[in-house]
Structure 1
C-alpha cells in the first residue's frame, strides 16, 4: 500500500476571531449603505450628478424664498407648501434612486450572498425602504430647515418669533415625512419588480404621472362626491388631500383655495396609510419570492 503523496501548505489564512455583531448591525450597515447610495456617496462622480443636482435645485429655491422674505417681510411659501411645490422633483429623484438601491442587486445576483448570512429577507427590504424614505425626507426637510434659519435670524420678535417659526416648521417636516413614506414605498416596490434600471425608472414615473389624468377626469364629473374623492386616484394628489385635511391653514392659508375634498379628509388619511401598508406588504412578499429562487 503506497503512502499518500499530497501535501497541505499553510499559506497564512486564519479564522475570523473578532466580534460577530449580528442582525441589528447588519441592518444598520445596509441602511447606511443605502442612504449613501441615494446621494451617490462613495461612488463615481457620474453617480453623484443627478442626486446633487436635485439637492442643489431645492436648496436654491429655499434660499430664494428666504431672501425674498427677508427683504419684503412676507411669507411667499409656507414650509408645508414647499413640499408640495417640489413634488415633481421628488418623482424623478425616486425614479433614479430606487433602481440604484434594489434593481442593481437583482441584476448582479448578489442577493443570495446577502441572505446567506443572518440577514432576513424582510430586513433587506425594510433597510432599503428606510434608506430611500430618509433620503426623500432630507431632500424636502433640509431646505425647510434653511428657510427656518433664515426666518429665525430675521424675525423682529426675538425668541417668541423663533418659537412661532418652529411651530410652523414642525408640521412642514411631518408633511415631508408623509411624502417620503408614500413615494418611497411605491417607488421601491416598482423598482423591485425588475433588474433593468431603465425599466424600473420608467415604471416609477408612469405610476406617478399617468395617474394624474385620471384625477382630472374624475374632478369634472357631474357628481360632487366623485369630485371630492377624485384626488384618491393618484399618489401625489392623495398626499395633497391628506395634507389639506391634516394641516389646514398651514398648507393652504385663508384666501388660497385648497383641494376640494369636502368632508372626506379622514378618508384621504386612511387611504394614505393603507397605500403605504399595502406597498410595504407587497414589497416584503416580493423579496420572499426572490430569496427562494
Structure 2
C-alpha cells in the first residue's frame, strides 16, 4: 500500500533529493503528509528512465515531486547544492557550435579533346527489397512487466501476484462437463472510507491478441471471497478464474472491474500489462 510519511519541507516545495543542513532550515520547516509512489515511471523521448536506488517519487496534494538531481541528470544537466547561499544550481549543457565548412576552390575547366566521347552505360542499381511489415497480433501495446504488478485507484490498491494454468478443481459444469481454468491470484486493500466490491464476472483478459472472459467459465468457478464489500482497511486475497490459456502465452492485458459504492455507485476499470512465464 502507498506509504504515508511526514516530511519537513522548506518554503519552496521543490522535491529536491539533495543533502541539506538541518541546522540551516530548522526554523523554516513544517510537517506535511506525502505519499511515496515507487510505482511511477518516467519516459524520456520514448525511453523508460528508471530512478537510481535510494530515489523515489513523492505525491502531495495531487502534485508529483521528483528528485531534482535525478531529473537534471536525466536531461543531461548538472545540479549542485550551494550550502552557503542555500541555492540549487542547475547548469544545462551548451550546444556545440560547429565551424562553417570551407568552400572548395574552383578548378579550371579542362579543354575538351577532339576525340569522340564514349558514353558509359549507367550501372544498374540493385533492386530494393521490400520492408517486412510487423505482424499485427491484436495485442494492445503497453509496458508488460513480470509479476507481481500493482495498480492503484485513489486509495484502492490491487496487486496481481500469480497466474496459474489448468487449475483442475474436480468440479464439473452441468452443460459442458469438466472445465479447466486459469486462475489469477489477487491481493486487494482498501484505505478509502467508501466501500468497494470486486466484480469478478466482468473480468476480461487479452492474451497474445485473443480475448478471454471470466463470464465464460461458469459461476461454479467464481471465488466467493469477492462477494463481500471491502470496507476501510479491509484486505482480501483471492483468485479470479479465466478460460484455459496456452502454456506458451507471452503477454496478458488484464482488466479488473471494481464497483465503488456511495451516493452514486461508480464502476471503475483497473488494467494490468503482464509478461507471462507459465512454463
TM-score bin (small chain): under 0.3
- TM-score of the two chains, using structure 2 as the length reference: 0.25
Higher strand share: 2
For CA contacts below 8 A with separation 6 or more, give which structure has more relative contact order: 1
Q: TM-score, normalised by structure 1?
A: 0.24
Choose 1 or 2 for highest CA Rg. 2
Structure with the largest fraction of helix:
1
